[in-house]
Amino acid sequence: MVSEHSDAADGDTAALALKILVAGGFGVGKTTLVGAVSEIRPLRTEELLSEAGQLVDDTGGVDQKVTTTVAMDFGRITIRSGLSLYLFGTPGQDRFWFLWDELSQGALGAVVLADTRRLEDCFPAVDYFEHRRIPFVVAVNCFTGARSYGSQDVSKALDLDRGTPVVLCDARDRDSGKEVLIRLVEYAGRMHTARLLDSVG
């Protein structure tokens, strides 16, 4: 979850690097979000959609999509001096979910991207993180032309645990994505602190 390293050149005695997952349904904008906020050239494992894949992947509502992530996306963003986030975008299709257990090892928390036109697509990600007690926020990617819903409506529709944050965002916009990540770090920090206090209480 946390790694520390010394960097004498920058004058920092210890820097924190936190692992964050970016999850959600097929075509919801995970690769776009990682690419928008990453300060390094993001690693992408995208392949062209094939006719064979169309038999198993639900492309309804994302007809314009021509590529898909087959392993993960990776990026890095510095939130402030001494605090960096390493972002791991998960593949969205059911057939790649075996990778999630590996990717989630050591994660501080997760962003679950949601599209209100296909809200049911993020149910598996919500269930995954709830069952493993990994703190997460739901970030509603506001697609052009999609009907807008308030955070309370989305929370109710997803039957989220009380207190789970729901934020609206534009996955293409760096500042919007950064705000989502800051909200997650703050929320996950509170959750982990509360659990630590419970364990020693």
pLDDT in tens, the chain (201 residues): 655 554 444 444 468 999 999 999 888 999 999 999 999 998 866 555 445 445 444 555 555 545 554 457 899 999 999 999 999 998 866 666 678 898 999 999 999 999 999 999 999 999 999 999 999 999 999 988 888 899 999 999 999 999 999 999 999 999 999 999 999 999 999 999 999 998 886
| The pLDDT of residue 94 | 64
Exposed/middle/buried for residue 71 (C-beta within 10 Å: 0-12, 13-18, 19+): middle
Reported pTM: 0.81
CA-to-CA distance for 150 and 12, rounded, in angstroms?
Answer: 41
pLDDT of residue 4: 58
CA distance 162 to 18: 25
| Among 104, 168, 101, 110, residue whose Cα is nearest residue 137 | 110
Report whether 89 contacts 99 (CB < 8 A). no
The tokens of 63 are what?
A: 């007809």
Burial of 91 (0-12, 13-18, 19+ CB in 10 A): buried
